[in-house]
Amino acid sequence: MGLIAVTDFDSGMQGGEEPFGGALHAFALCAQAGLLDGHLLEVELGDQTQRSTLAVLTNQSKAEPLPEVARQNCPVFAAAASGLRSSVDLTGRAYARMLDRWLFTEQI
């Protein structure tokens, strides 16, 4: 399940200014430069938005390593990916917990 997206690519965001937003920006730069060709799932959405996804795996809150091509070709993204993925995992679990409480807790 994807939880994040780069929606403001032209904002000039850099890795040092916003570590997680910067990591996503670095990923977008790598993808646009063709450094991940053949390793991305690319889809055009109904509004002509281009979506590029790099498959990564997290099991039981433990992130598996990034694909080798991402580690080699996208070092800025790879360096920030662990913190980014950990934060996304925490955010996803908190969101699911809130939905459970909101949808399935009897209100008194």
* Calpha distance 87→25 (Å, rounded): 16
Closest CA to 23 of 72, 62, 75, 80: 80
- The number of domains in the chain is 1
Within a domain: 76: yes
Q: Residue 4 falls within a domain, yes or no?
A: no
Range of the domain at 99: 9-104
pLDDT at 6: 61
Q: Give the C-alpha separation, 46 to 107, whole Å.
A: 39
Q: Is residue 1 part of a domain?
A: no
State the Cα–Cα distance between residues 108 and 97, nearest whole angstrom. Answer: 19
**Rounded distance between C-alpha atoms, residue 24 and residue 26, angstroms:** 5
**Which amino acid would we find at residue 24?**
L
Residue 41, domain member (yes or no): yes
* Residue 3, in any domain of the structure: no
pLDDT digits (tens, 9 = 90+) for 27-77: 888 988 999 999 998 889 899 888 888 888 777 777 788 999 999 999 989
CB-based contact 27:56 (threshold 8 Å): no
Residue 93 resides in a domain: yes
Give the span between the Cα atoms of 56 and 86, in whole angstroms: 12
State the pTM of this model.
0.67
